[in-house]
Structure 1
Amino acid sequence: MSKAISSLESTRAPGTVPGLLSAEFWQETLALTRRWFIQLKRRPTSLVLGIAYPLMFLLLFGAAFQNAPRGFLGGATGNYLQFIAAGIIIFTAFGSALNSGLPIVFDREFGFLNRILVAPLVSRLSIVFASSIYIVALSLVQTAVVMGVCALMGANFAAGWGGLPVLILAVVLLVVGFTALSLGLAFVVPGHIEILGILLVLNLPLLFTSTALTPLAFMPPWLQWVASLSPLTWAIEPVRHLYVMPDWSLTTPILNAPWGQLTLEGALLALLLFDLVAVALVGNLLKKALR
């Protein structure tokens, strides 16, 4: 990585400051991204645990509620395993995104982040871009594995190949938003003890205040409001719709929320808005931290 960054500095034209769309910036970003994949190759624990943890929920909850009555599923077709598959898939991606700030904190504590910051970088935002690209790629790999396990267990993806781009879009939009928040948090907390505590507090409550494991109609009114406004629900419901409906449309209502009906298109737009808000919230913070 140091050789790549050094080569960037040596080829930079005197007196020029390349922008974020320049080839130099993206070459630098890819060099930093490659570092994360090298770490993953040496220590694949994060990849394995990121798959094993949600699969544990799939196996336990799938077995516990396999005889759930059809009314429990809120009128959705298929069994509970097919119902929960969407929640587990999104929970897998969410877990990777939520933990994305942790490696940055360890880089801070071990002094490696300071070494990167004093390097002749085109833009220090490449650090953030590299982490985001890595987490998105990692989440998609973990999601693909979980989808394969769900298929082996009998949860078939009804929408077929045509629905995969929508599923990928929902996963990526969710991951980008929570990755931005997690990276912002990584530059605020004092150390890894604090961020681990925060992640532990957020992980399961965010899961259970969504429609990952139970339909919205099964919840009490106050929890219906909370779950219907959760970004996790906005990602889960489009994927669930694709799992149970072979004939789908972007304008089809997928959630009867207390405040009205949410369409598949509306859920994706809500996720996009969530991303914009998340990036805006942490943008100034990251600029100050990376000066």
Structure 2
Amino acid sequence: MEESNNRAKNSFLIPFIKFTIPSILPLSSDFTQETRALTKRLIIQTKRRPATLIAGLFQPLLWLILFGALFQNAPIELFSISNSYRHFLTPGILVFTSFTGALNAGLPLMFDREFGFFNRLIVTPLVSRLSIVIASALFISSIALLQTFIILFIMMALEGSIGFNNFLLIAMILFLLTCALTMFSISASLVLPGHIELLALIFIINLPLLFASTALVPFSFMPMWLQIMASINPLSYAIETIRSIYFITDWTLATSVVQTIWGTCSLRKVISLLIALNLLLGVLVTSCVQSKIK
């Protein structure tokens, strides 16, 4: 009788263990194969519909050209060490490109839900359902980073090289921010009822988060209430860090890169903040996946 109870308990725990262990240590070859196949599917979709990729590249370039031309005669020396407003604007455009691409990460998953393909994936004997999320995150992060790197290379050709170490650090900051926002978008796509609501959420938070950051102007040009919002906005920390690294050739983890109303943040603090944001949103998206497959 006791053995049967233990077997019953074990059989009850097996589904939980099968889901939990791969989600914590997704290193098996089967999990890698699943993630690769799901990522390849998203790549094929993009090849068939390249308009989204092209639009995501031209939008920030238009922002860079139009805003750079609009404020080219602005007294840039009053609030920046940049040579021009376009030089000052570039870090904001880089972060905005990653931000926009990551916010759209949940759309393919939302359309899969509406067309019934997501239900087919759930009933498929996958090693871990988390491969669905990781494939979407890897794909969108790669696309967003590709778009930002193209813009960065264009600016490096116009303004000059920034150094290999600075380039790697900027890439790491953009990668952490993109992964965090991608997980937020995927969580929203699993919680919201349809793509209309998801698009409405993207439209609502897209421009407000951009203007409530230091992408276009520094903290000193903002009223106090907007400074408070910008100091909470994680985009501001990424923008100011990239802007500082863009001009600092000899930096360390203790180098001050962000000056907010709360005080000065070093490079170590900014990286820790972005890692903590990724962990928090990773827990959120994992709980959303678990609740969706029950």
Q: Contact 1:225/1:258 (CA < 8 Å) preserved in 2?
A: yes
How far off its partner does 1:289 sit?
0.8
Alignment equivalent of 1:94, drawn from 90, 99, 102: 99
Pair 1:283 & 2:286 matched? yes
* Farther-moved stretch of structure 1 (113-122 vs 181-190): 113-122
Point out where structure 2 has 5 or more consecutive residues left out of the alignment. 1-16
Q: Tell me the alpha carbon deviations over residues 37-84 of structure 1, each in whole angstroms, 9 at most, x when there is no partner.
A: 111111111211111111121111111111111344x24232211110
Output the TM-score relative to the length of structure 2: 0.88
User: Residue deviations 1:166-211, cap 9 Å, x none?
Assistant: 1111011101111111101001111111111110111000100111
Q: What does 1:208-219 align with in structure 2 at a 5 Å threshold?
A: 208-219=211-222
Quote the Cα distance in structure 1 between the aligned partners of 2:221 and 2:161: 24
Distance in structure 1 (CA, Å) of the matches to 2:175 and 2:210: 18
The reply to whether residue 62 of structure 1 matches residue 62 of structure 2 is: no
Is the 1:251–1:265 contact (alpha carbons within 8 Å) kept by the matching residues of 2?
yes
The equivalent residue for 2:124 is: 119
Do residues 82 (structure 1) and 76 (structure 2) align? no
Displacement, 1:144?
1.2
Give distance in 1, aligned partners of 2:208 and 2:143.
23
In the alignment, which residue of structure 1 is the partner of 2:160?
Answer: 156
Given residue 135 of structure 1, which amino acid in structure 2 is its aligned partner? Answer: I
For each residue in 1:116-138, what CA deviation from the matched residue of structure 2 results, as whole angstroms up to 9, or x when unmatched?
A: 11212111111001001101111
The residue type equivalent to 1:240 in the other structure is R
Deviation at 1:243, TM superposition (A): 1.8
CA deviation vs aligned residue, 1:5-46 (integer Å, no higher than 9, x gap): xxxxxxxxxxx9583221111111111111111111111112
- More off after superposition, 127-136 vs 18-27: 18-27
Gap change, CA 1:165 and 1:144, over 3 Å in 2: same
Q: CA deviation at 1:96?
A: 0.8
Is 1:98–1:182's contact at 8 Å kept on the other side of the alignment? yes
Larger of the two Rg values belongs to structure? 2
Cα distance per residue 1:232-269 (max 9 Å; x no partner): 11211111112223333332212221110012222111
Select 2:261's aligned residue among 253, 258, 261: 258
Q: How does 1:1-291 map to 2 (within 5 A)?
A: 19=22, 20-72=26-78, 74-152=79-157, 154-158=158-162, 160-291=163-294
Equivalent-residue separation in structure 1 for 2:183 and 2:267 (angstroms): 24
Paired with 2:248 and 2:86, the residues of 1 have a C-alpha distance of 15
Worse-superposed segment, 126-135 or 216-225 = 216-225
- Give the match for residue 8 of structure 1: none
Contact 1:82 1:156 in 2 (8 A): no
SS in 2 for 1:254: strand
Query: How many Å apart are 1:283 and its aligned residue?
Result: 2.4
Alignment correspondent of 1:10: none
Q: Deviations over 1:212-247 (max 9, x none)?
A: 111111111111121122111121111111222333
Q: Judge conservation of contact 1:29–1:130 (CA < 8 Å) in 2.
A: yes
Q: Distance in 1 between matches of 2:45 and 2:282?
A: 26
Contact 1:82 1:243 in 2 (8 A): no
* Equivalent-residue separation in structure 2 for 1:174 and 1:134 (angstroms): 15
TM-aligned CA distance change 1:109 to 1:29, over 3 Å: same
Give yes or no for contact 1:173–1:275 (8 Å, CA) kept in 2. Answer: yes
The alignment partner of 2:191 has SS state of coil
Corresponding residue SS for 1:211: coil
Post-superposition Cα deviations, 1:84-103, rounded to whole Å, max 9, x if no partner, equal: 00000111111111110011
Q: RMSD of aligned C-alpha atoms?
A: 1.7
Structure with bigger helix share is 2
